[in-house]
């Protein structure tokens, strides 16, 4: 759950919103210290779950690429 000082993402929304993020992917080990991560089929959802009559939500599909270092 997220809280804001202004109504987000629109003036008809609420100060409190819910967020859900999910993603599937793969991590490949390059050597003992380094790895590469590829996230595919990601979904980010942001809305107020119809707490008020207006529910200006946001749904975004995404992917990411990361370089990871293992201590």
C-alpha 48/C-alpha 42 separation (Å) is 20
Parse the chain into domains and list their residue ranges. Answer: 2-69
Q: Which is more confidently placed, 29 or 2?
A: 29
According to the model, what pLDDT value does residue 30 have?
A: 96
Confidence of residue 58 (pLDDT cuts 50, 70, 90): confident
Report CA-CA distances (Å) from 47 to 11, 27, 36, 40, 60: 13, 30, 32, 22, 12
pTM of the model: 0.61
Structure tokens at 50: 């119809």
CB 25 within 8 A of CB 38: yes
């Amino acid at each position: 759950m997220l809280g804001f000082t202004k109504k987000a993402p629109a003036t008809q929304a609420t100060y409190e919103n819910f967020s859900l993020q999910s993603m599937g992917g793969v991590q490949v080990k390059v050597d003992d210290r380094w790895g590469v991560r590829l996230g595919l089929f990601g979904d980010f959802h942001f809305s107020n779950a119809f707490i008020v009559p207006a529910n200006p939500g946001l749904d975004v599909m995404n992917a990411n690429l990361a370089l990871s270092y293992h201590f």
